[in-house]
Amino acid sequence: MRLRVLGCSGGIGGRDLRTTSLLVDDDILIDAGTGVADLVLADLARIDHIFLTHAHLDHLAALPLLVDSVSDLRDTPITLHATAATLTSIGKHIFNWVIWPDFTVIPSFERPAMQYREVSVGQPLRLGSRTITALPAEHTVPAVGYQLDSGAASLVFTGDTTINPAFWPIVNRIANLRYLLIETAFPNRGRRLAEVSRHLCPSMLAAELKQLKVDAEIYISHLKPGQIELTMSEIESCASRYRPKMLRHGQSFDL
């Protein structure tokens, strides 16, 4: 299994600043932020499954255009995996015939371009040799993270989350954990904003990482443009024992 980072930024505004999207092999997306737009049409048409962490725009901005762009190139629908609450939000606010057509019923009810599949925390889904399991997250809207397990190794992506006591006991039971991708959106001066928007800042990240009991390479996602250097410097100051690195656009992980 190979995971490639199409986007991992908390915003846009630079050549390498793409919002969250992770490509697994060539047929699975974790989130569908602006990084998806860098894929060519043939690559987009190979995507069979999209797993959403939550319904915020930076994590699904490219989804409507992706589905539309490949609808006449595929014989089977793209399966959109998300919690029941996220699927309801997307159907109500995006694929609603006002913002965008409802591709769960076109080109026809019998052969739609997209179909929904509900995920629940802790219930694994096997796709070939790969297993994907939703993990608990704490955000301003219903949200999850995901564990990607090849059998040989696992990668955990927190998605957008804040202090999350339910998350760590589950992660600590993953015997083959190799990588942890965890968000830190704001520098410490923005702690109040992080608390209100239910993200992390470096001091909160350091407290959360104290609960990690297994070895893993740690990468920081969702850094806000204009605050990247400051936030990473503060992470180095308060969490250096965990050797966190900045997650980068175009980076790949083999599992």
Domain extents for the chain? 2-249
pLDDT at residue 121 tops 90? yes
Rounded to the nearest 5 percent, the helix, strand and coil shares of the chain are: 25, 25, 45
Q: What are residue 195's phi and psi, to 5 degrees? A: -65, -45
Question: Which residues fall within 8 angstroms of residue 239, CB to CB, at 6 or more apart?
Answer: 202, 205, 206, 209
Per-residue confidence (pLDDT) for residue 165, from 0 to 100: 97
Q: Is the pLDDT of residue 14 over 90?
A: no
Helix ranges, the chain (H): 41-45, 63-70, 84-93, 167-171, 191-197, 202-209, 228-239
The answer to whether residue 53 scores a pLDDT higher than 90 is yes
Phi, psi of 56 (to 5 degrees): -75, 150
**Average pLDDT of span 14-31:** 96
Name the nearest CA neighbour of 50 among 108, 109, 90. 90
Q: Which residues contact 129 (CB under 8 A, 6 or more apart)?
A: 1, 150, 151
pLDDT higher than 90, residue 99? yes
For the cut 90, the answer to whether the pLDDT of residue 247 exceeds it is: yes
Average pLDDT, the chain: 97
**Closest by CA position to 198, among listed 212, 180, 183, 210:** 183
pLDDT at 166: 98
Question: Once rounded to an integer, what is the mean pLDDT over residues 241-250?
Answer: 96
pLDDT grade for 15, boundaries at 50, 70 and 90: confident
* Confidence (pLDDT) at 163: 97
| Inter-residue contact 144 to 134 (CB < 8 Å) | yes
pLDDT of residue 221: 98
pTM for this prediction: 0.97
Q: Which pLDDT tens digit goes with each residue over 78-94?
A: 999 999 999 999 999 99
Q: What is the pLDDT of residues 188-240, one digit of tens each?
A: 999 999 999 999 999 999 999 999 999 999 999 999 999 999 999 999 999 99
Q: Once rounded to an integer, what is the mean pLDDT over residues 15-33?
A: 97
Q: Tell me the mean pLDDT in the region 97-106.
A: 97
Gap between the Cα atoms of 186 and 123, Å rounded? 31
Q: Which fold has domain 2-249?
A: Metallo-beta-lactamase; Chain A (3.60.15)
Q: What is the mean pLDDT of residues 112-120?
A: 98
